[in-house]
Structure 1
Amino acid sequence: MRRFRPYFSYLKAVRGSIILALLCGIVYGAANGAGLPLMVKKIFPKIFDPEAARLTDWQLMLIALWLPTIFALRGVAGYFNSYLIQYAGTRILEALRLDYFRKLQVLPVSFLQRQKTGDLISRGMTDTQTLQTALTTFANDIFKQPTTLIGALGYLGYLAYTERGVWLVLVSMAVIPLCILPIRYVGKRLINRARQLQGQLGQVSERFSENLNAAREVRAFSLEEIEINRLRTLTNSLVVSQMKVTKYTQALTPSIELISAAGISMTLVYAYKTGLSLPAFVSIITALYTCYDPIKKLGALQNITKIGSAALDRLEVVLNAPNSIADPVNPVPLGRAQGNLAFEHVVLTYDNDTAALRDVSISIPAGTTCALVGPSGAGKSTFANLVPRFYDVSSGRITLDGVDIRDVSLADLRRNIAIVSQEPVLFNDTVYNNLLLGRHDATREEVEQAARDAFAHDFILTLPQGYETIVGERGATLSGGQRQRLAVARAFLRNAPILILDEATSALDSESEAAIQLALRKLVVGKTVLIIAHRFSTIRDASLILVFDQGRIIDAGPHTELYERNPLYKGLYNRQGSFETA
């Protein structure tokens, strides 16, 4: 169990429930392992032995109460054991999922881009559930089942000491170690099958996620049957893996029972040879049977821990992933920045050794409206994404007001930056709460004023519940122009000194674009602005234009100068095309 030892810390928060559950498990095990065989040995002869003394009614009642007392003790202890373990398990599951989700919030964007969304969801839901089951089952059975086994073996030892010939019967107990063989065999084969199964569950989740996110495209291109067949292929493989896991887990119980039956048969032979009395024989059989049941459950526990280990392998891809973009140990206080940006010999190389930016150096004074221009893949979006530290430079540095942004806390840095992207994300919440994301402590009046500045207030009032209208997943109930205006309103509310406009109007109709362009002219006043846009009418009036090509800034200046001297810029401007962002 060394594999799970680092995660036993999750048990600390519920240790009171775990301890009480374990005590109940010990009581259950003692009543089950020793109580029942002892009853058979001590109580039954007093009732069924014709040579025994005649019992009074009170004696008979007391003897008869032994059985319900044992079962009542066993039942109550077993109930509270199961209930408390389930309570602890639910709390552990909550903590696991929160830690997993918390880690996802701080991992670099580059890590998330390398993963599949559906698979990450599967790890956070299915794998955490599997690991919780493994931890709580282990915490439950690791005491209850051995206690039952020890109780039964202890009773057999007692018989060996008190009964003539029982040593011969105890020889039959040699079969108990043989039960370990199928447990080890199944365990070795199960872990690989479990890893494969967990991975395929992630693939199915990813298939669902991708399909639902592309619902319009699936219908537009009549891909329904193709999508169904793709999922069918995955689920067929999933079924095969599930049945392989089932094959091994279900084979364990009959294997142990077969070995157990052989042991009981040997006991029967030895009992006959030694002339053992019937009460002693029945109590031994009861004790032996009680031995085999915890062995079966401990074998099942072995299987569960193997499956839990496979789930843990998948969770640790996230939980142990290095957070390369973290707060400095002693962050430099920034406060409200002026907005002076400087890139000094910046190089960014992705994990596949592809250089996205090559030796980029540029100074952008506070209050500058800076447009980023270039063909697709030239490095424009990468350049802008380095400012809020969505990525970190491979070499060189970026400064804000002369301070290396890596020396500033992420919260402090990002508080000074507002972003309006091509596809703004709205959460499945009210309009008001989506706007409040711009600044959590804003008043109602400030939120509504930001909406007016973004020309969003009027359309918000026409919604069924106004500002309290639920916008749907990713703002599905709103048009593209409405979503974009809410994004601009959030930027107004944030009022950050640095503004990044990433294709903010490229996908809008002319009416929405005109309204948003009017709002943006007001929004950019007094701010350092980075504009990524392919509509040159948007950037022609920028005070500084940077021309990117193959990860380098090949030219910089105002529109008139660049149009005269830079062939790439002139060609892009003349085509007035729409390009994808880098």
Structure 2
Amino acid sequence: MADHRRSTPVHPTTTPFSSPSATPPGERDGSRGPRGSRGGRPDPADVRQLELSPVPLRRIARLFAPHRAALAVVVALIVLSSAVGLAQPFLVRHVIDDALPRQDVRLLLLLVGAMLGVAAATAVIGVVQTWLSTSVGQRVMHRLRSDLFAHLQQQSLGFFTRTRGGEVQSRLVNDIGGMQGVVTQTATSVAANLTVVVGTAVAMVALSWRLALISLVVLPPAVLLTRQVARMRHRVTGERQRRLADLHVQIEEGLSVSGVLLTKTLGAGPRLAARFEETSSDLVGLEIRSRLAGRWRMATMNIVFAAVPAAIYLAAGFPATSGGMTIGTLVAFIALQGGLFRPLMGLLNVGVDLTASMALFSRIFEYADLPVEIAQPASPVRLPRSAARGEVRFDHVGFAYDPDRPVLADVDLHVPAGTSLALVGATGSGKSTLASLVARLHDVTEGRVTLDGVDVRDLATADLAELVGVVTQETYLLHATVRENLRHARPDASDAEVEQAARDARVHDLIMSLPDGYDTVVGSRGHRFSGGEQQRIAIARTLLRDPAVLVLDEATSALDNETERSILATLEELARTRTTITIAHRLSTVRDADQIAVLSHGRVVEVGTHEELLLLGGRYADLVRSGLGTEPVAA
């Protein structure tokens, strides 16, 4: 090595362009990057997901096809940034070998200026690349999220009754959010890491093929060692994630409004607290093990980053392997080698990241490919509210959730416009299911349901919702003001119309007694109000839409007798201009109906008025005697 260029080599851990001792991405403070990206092997759950529901790459490519130009620019910027960044070590070599020994101030200024320019250029390129890739990812995510939301809204009630609500939310929010990593992390990291690895390897060979060979010989065992440590942490982290999920479930079950109410009424507080403490205690040990595993990985990497430069320094000190290398060349080589390990590890984890990303797409596409059980008609029949009379007919209707277990069979009923039909029967006889067919919450499996002679399957969903109003026993109020809850049924309703609907439902006075009147927030799921108050608000909300057909499924079950009589009187007055189908277990609710249909095991066994059915002495008379309401029966 030439003596006239003697200077102290700079250790790679102190150079401004490499930081081997820094914590790798995704390892700081035990955090994790894309799901399944830790440990050097795919998450078994991701592998199972792809086995059950494989995803063709062609389908994913179609999502990004509209953004081909932007993605091409992103890749070009990544390659450019990586190539520009490789200039730094060569500039340092010229500073050490040429500018400093010769005291050439002009050359030194040029080189330092070039170093600053390279840093600024890579920073600007990085900002533009991040903006472009994030924009593409967000636009694709927005389109996919919006399409999936609209698609799920078209699913029947059966889908939501057999699917956990948290699962739907997870796929809409978490999975689609994680999908963005395909663009902003997986794809861009592959391009960046591949460019850096190839460019660095070429530059190392150009500087010294002997030292490059030493680096390549030392790196494989070092990579294997760090992957073994990472696998150990992966196992610990998986168990920690499961216990964290248990903790979240316990918090949701124990601290939600419904959960607290159940806990207090059952006296289960101490038991839940002990269970929570046990889970939290388990997390303490798992967190310590996880952090230690992470520290072991960091320690292993530090040893690697110390061992490789040590071997290079040793080789540079022997004439047989140095090849007359200058100190500047050695520093530049060490800098290149120091920046090689992390992108090399990134490339080794590409398969894991790709599997995790594909698993997310698989979960999303599972929902996107669900068949629409209640589809919009190809050529919908128009039936304006102004022209609707409200005549409902069940024409030999059959329905089954399971083909082997029919819920309804050969139901044939005619409800003339402006009349009322009451459905009674034992629990499970099919009353609610039959009523739900009018609003097309389910589709018949046999026969048809018509509204003014038009099959409800031939009406557009929006038109049918305008013609048929449904109030159920289980009311749902939004976490918004009373006014917003009422206008949810009809956003263009005036304040006067909102208040009139509330008066008709006998809830106006209650609302006006609230601190902020109609601007009072109802609270989570309407728990600010009693069950009867919630039902009255729900009735007002439906009345605001002024439907031609009103379906009341136990809509007055939570009301006291006096309030119920008041609302029934209002509904009776309103029923003069609309058809009403009522399901109730109170005699007071059904006795004045124009006709009463008695269901048993999904079949209509009796039809008639209250007096006719009592005189018949059949199933209806038995229901009255066994407790259909508490009022005296007068034939």
Question: What pairs with 1:544-559 in structure 2 (closer than 5 Å)?
Answer: 544-559=595-610
Give the whole-Å Cα distance in 2 for the aligned partners of 1:244 and 1:557: 73
1:452 correspondence with 2:503:
yes
> Which amino acid counterpart does residue 274 of structure 1 have in structure 2?
T
Question: What pairs with 1:460-499 in structure 2 (closer than 5 Å)?
Answer: 460-499=511-550
Alpha-carbon shift at residue 152 of structure 1 (Å): 1.3
> Which amino acid counterpart does residue 440 of structure 1 have in structure 2?
P
> Which amino acid counterpart does residue 565 of structure 2 have in structure 1?
A
Question: What pairs with 1:115-514 in structure 2 (closer than 5 Å)?
Answer: 115-159=163-207, 166=209, 169-170=212-213, 172-173=215-216, 208-211=251-254, 212=256, 213-228=258-273, 267=312, 271=316, 272=318, 273-276=320-323, 277-278=325-326, 279-299=328-348, 302-336=351-385, 337-351=388-402, 353-514=404-565
- 1:572 alignment partner, one of 616, 623, 631: 623
Can you list the C-alpha shifts for 1:143-172, whole angstroms capped at 9, x where unaligned?
Answer: 32222223212323434xxx6xx2674475
For the structure 1 residues 554 and 332, does the alpha-carbon distance in structure 2 shift closer, same or farther, using more than 3 Å as the test? same
Task: Look up the SS of the partner of 1:280 in the other structure.
Answer: helix
Please say if residues 116 and 206 of structure 1, whose CA atoms lie closer than 8 Å, have aligned partners that are also in contact: no
Query: Identity of aligned pairs, percent?
Result: 32
Give the whole-Å Cα distance in 2 for the aligned partners of 1:105 and 1:461: 34
Please say if residues 606 and 619 of structure 2, whose CA atoms lie closer than 8 Å, have aligned partners that are also in contact: no
Counterpart in 1 of 2:90? 38
Alpha-carbon shift at residue 497 of structure 1 (Å): 1.1
Please say if residues 535 and 558 of structure 2, whose CA atoms lie closer than 8 Å, have aligned partners that are also in contact: no
Give the whole-Å Cα distance in 1 for the aligned partners of 2:513 and 2:524: 20
1:25 correspondence with 2:68:
no
Task: Look up the SS of the partner of 1:530 in the other structure.
Answer: strand
Give the whole-Å Cα distance in 2 for the aligned partners of 1:203 and 1:552: 45
> Which amino acid counterpart does residue 265 of structure 2 have in structure 1?
A
Give the whole-Å Cα distance in 2 for the aligned partners of 1:496 and 1:123: 35
Can you list the C-alpha shifts for 1:237-270, whole angstroms capped at 9, x where unaligned?
Answer: 9999999999999988777777777766665566
Alpha-carbon shift at residue 438 of structure 1 (Å): 2.9
Give the whole-Å Cα distance in 2 for the aligned partners of 1:203 and 1:334: 51
Can you list the C-alpha shifts for 1:445-478, whole angstroms capped at 9, x where unaligned?
Answer: 3222222222233332222222222222222323
Give the whole-Å Cα distance in 1 for the aligned partners of 2:286 and 2:404: 36
> Which amino acid counterpart does residue 475 of structure 2 have in structure 1?
P
Please say if residues 130 and 307 of structure 1, whose CA atoms lie closer than 8 Å, have aligned partners that are also in contact: no
Q: Which moved more, 1:412-421 or 1:388-397?
A: 388-397
> Which amino acid counterpart does residue 77 of structure 1 have in structure 2?
I
Please say if residues 346 and 395 of structure 1, whose CA atoms lie closer than 8 Å, have aligned partners that are also in contact: yes
1:516 correspondence with 2:563:
no
For the structure 1 residues 250 and 372, does the alpha-carbon distance in structure 2 shift closer, same or farther, using more than 3 Å as the test? farther
- 1:61 alignment partner, one of 106, 109, 113: 109
For the structure 1 residues 100 and 258, does the alpha-carbon distance in structure 2 shift closer, same or farther, using more than 3 Å as the test? farther
Gapped regions of structure 2 (runs ≥ 5): 1-53, 631-635
Matched residue count: 569
Alpha-carbon shift at residue 343 of structure 1 (Å): 2.4
> Which amino acid counterpart does residue 290 of structure 1 have in structure 2?
G
Please say if residues 178 and 360 of structure 2, whose CA atoms lie closer than 8 Å, have aligned partners that are also in contact: yes
Give the whole-Å Cα distance in 1 for the aligned partners of 2:453 and 2:606: 24
Please say if residues 190 and 306 of structure 1, whose CA atoms lie closer than 8 Å, have aligned partners that are also in contact: no
Alpha-carbon shift at residue 61 of structure 1 (Å): 2.2
For the structure 1 residues 452 and 12, does the alpha-carbon distance in structure 2 shift closer, same or farther, using more than 3 Å as the test? farther
Give the whole-Å Cα distance in 1 for the aligned partners of 2:308 and 2:289: 29
Task: Look up the SS of the partner of 2:409 in the other structure.
Answer: strand
> Which amino acid counterpart does residue 43 of structure 1 have in structure 2?
V
Please say if residues 555 and 566 of structure 1, whose CA atoms lie closer than 8 Å, have aligned partners that are also in contact: no
Alpha-carbon shift at residue 481 of structure 1 (Å): 3.2
Give the whole-Å Cα distance in 2 for the aligned partners of 1:115 and 1:250: 41
For the structure 1 residues 251 and 353, does the alpha-carbon distance in structure 2 shift closer, same or farther, using more than 3 Å as the test? farther
Q: Which moved more, 1:405-414 or 1:314-323?
A: 314-323
Task: Look up the SS of the partner of 1:429 in the other structure.
Answer: coil
Give the whole-Å Cα distance in 1 for the aligned partners of 2:233 and 2:143: 27
Counterpart in 2 of 1:542? 593
Task: Look up the SS of the partner of 2:186 in the other structure.
Answer: helix
For the structure 1 residues 2 and 418, does the alpha-carbon distance in structure 2 shift closer, same or farther, using more than 3 Å as the test? closer
Alpha-carbon shift at residue 344 of structure 1 (Å): 2.9
Give the whole-Å Cα distance in 2 for the aligned partners of 1:499 and 1:140: 56
Please say if residues 394 and 449 of structure 2, whose CA atoms lie closer than 8 Å, have aligned partners that are also in contact: yes
Q: Which moved more, 1:266-275 or 1:135-144?
A: 266-275
Please say if residues 204 and 231 of structure 1, whose CA atoms lie closer than 8 Å, have aligned partners that are also in contact: yes
Gapped regions of structure 1 (runs ≥ 5): none
Please say if residues 133 and 183 of structure 2, whose CA atoms lie closer than 8 Å, have aligned partners that are also in contact: no
For the structure 1 residues 257 and 389, does the alpha-carbon distance in structure 2 shift closer, same or farther, using more than 3 Å as the test? farther
